[in-house]
Structure 1
Amino acid sequence: MRPISTSAISFGMVSIPVRMYASADTSSSVSFNRIHKDCGSRLKQQYICAKDGDIVPKEDMVKGYEFARDQYVLFTQEEIKALGAVKSDTIDIVEFVPLSSVDRINLEKVYFLSPGKGGDRPYKLL
């Protein structure tokens, strides 16, 4: 199995290199396309304005957040990029909690870790 990522576990001044593996292989999932039954060609999606019924081309679309019924705050691509999380290759351990206090609804995916290059000894001590 190939690692999906290389990272480091960090707590305090200690940093241990690790390799991350997905617990389930999701890359082999099957996906389907919508096909026109009569001619066998793939169908395309159109976006239609809910107010006037017009077909809206992609260049006229913006993203928005609904803060009240039918009221939106609009965002530019630059603003959305600025909202993005800061990417880090480090897993910071801040504290440990009892397993019973973790609600299963908060668990999205499960990953396995193994020591990375030069991390065998500190990983075993962890």
Structure 2
Amino acid sequence: MPRPLWSGSLSFGLLNIPVALMPGERNVDLHFRMLDSRNNAPIRYERINAETGEEVPWKDIVRAFEYKKGSYVVLEEGDIEAARPEGKEVVEIEAFVEAGALSPEYYERPYVLVPGKKAEKGYVLLREILERTGRIGIARVIIRTREYLCAVLPRKPALQLVLLRYPQELVDIGDYPIPDEAPSRYRISPREMEMAEKLIESMSTGWSPGDYRDEFRERLGKTIEKRLKSKGVVKPAALQPEEPAEGAATNVVDFMALLQKSLAENRRTPPAKKGAGTAATKKGSATTKKPAARKKPAKRGGGKATRKRS
């Protein structure tokens, strides 16, 4: 079981509910190391002074804001600490809104609120009242050193906390050339609308998350497993250029023909359920032989820092 990010309280009005903030997502990405192809030794990332080419120790690194190209204002630790809000271990709901009031682009990352000991009554009360009223709580939460806007919503049997994006983090759709006039303006006939509706109805099904898998990760896991067994490097086959689609030079599309063909074939988008993933996708399926110790290379001039301390 993962460790809580923090243990504190969830509050609204005078009600205070002890909770622990737990991760709500799992990272299943395959992580790779960069190696030198000449001897398969890992490549290190160093903090290099762009002018002297020398490595900079952590104690000599400061944070700065680049307000224009090549010009910086240096911030002291006290400046950053002063900007951090107080009350790290509390989620205080400021308002309740209709669940449908937030469009999907505002939601960013899920967490799970787990009730503390003897806090079940208040936890269940809030969960049930949110479910009955169709509302979600809007609050602020501090995770590590940053304050986030968040939503508290019921996801039986739990209360879920989802980080939200601020409006200034979203791109205005009006910045893009999006067609926003009536369908007739784009010569879409009522018959095409009807056929499209029938097609969607024929492809509609219940939402079953288990039907969808990260097929890319599974295929890559199988490749890694084969490489481990063969103890060799297999060069990927050269990609063949795709043939241009017939009629690609024209901008005229026969929507009626496409809709009729789709209805006739009755294609469905959800994939069929598959068996459990291969053992290659499990943690620890791929390993890299540890290289022999190497002497530290001589300092180079004119280098550039490859990573800043966060």
TM-score of the aligned structures, taking structure 2 as reference length: 0.34
Corresponding residue for residue 178 of structure 2? none
* 1:67-92 Cα shifts (integer Å, max 9, x gaps): 22332111234433444443511111
Cα-Cα RMSD: 2.6
> How has the CA–CA distance of structure 1 residues 103 and 3 changed in structure 2, closer, same or farther, with 3 Å as cutoff?
farther
| Residue 58 of structure 1 pairs with residue 56 of structure 2 | yes
Question: Which ranges in structure 2 are unaligned for 5 or more consecutive residues?
Answer: 127-310
> How has the CA–CA distance of structure 1 residues 37 and 87 changed in structure 2, closer, same or farther, with 3 Å as cutoff?
farther
AA in 2 matched with 1:98: E
Does the 8 Å CA contact 1:11/1:94 hold for their aligned counterparts?
yes
TM-score of the aligned structures, taking structure 1 as reference length: 0.73
Corresponding residue for residue 116 of structure 1? 116
Give the 5 Å matches for 1:1-126: 1-2=1-2, 4=4, 5-26=6-27, 29-46=29-46, 47=48, 49=50, 52=51, 54-59=52-57, 61-86=61-86, 88-126=88-126
Per chain length, whose mean CA-contact separation is higher, i.e. which structure has more relative contact order (CA < 8 Å, sep 6+)? Answer: 1
Corresponding residue for residue 286 of structure 2? none
How far did residue 56 of structure 1 move? 4.2
Question: Which ranges in structure 1 are unaligned for 5 or more consecutive residues?
Answer: none
> How has the CA–CA distance of structure 1 residues 12 and 6 changed in structure 2, closer, same or farther, with 3 Å as cutoff?
same
Aligned mates of 2:13, 2:100 — CA distance in 1: 25
* 1:68-119 Cα shifts (integer Å, max 9, x gaps): 2332111234433444443511111111123343343432211122322111
> How has the CA–CA distance of structure 1 residues 78 and 110 changed in structure 2, closer, same or farther, with 3 Å as cutoff?
same
> How has the CA–CA distance of structure 1 residues 81 and 32 changed in structure 2, closer, same or farther, with 3 Å as cutoff?
farther
Aligned-pair identity (%):
22
AA in 1 matched with 2:56: K
Select the structure that is richer in helix: 2
> How has the CA–CA distance of structure 1 residues 113 and 73 changed in structure 2, closer, same or farther, with 3 Å as cutoff?
same
Aligned mates of 1:15, 1:85 — CA distance in 2: 20
> How has the CA–CA distance of structure 1 residues 2 and 65 changed in structure 2, closer, same or farther, with 3 Å as cutoff?
closer
Aligned length: 122
Larger Rg computed on CA atoms: 2
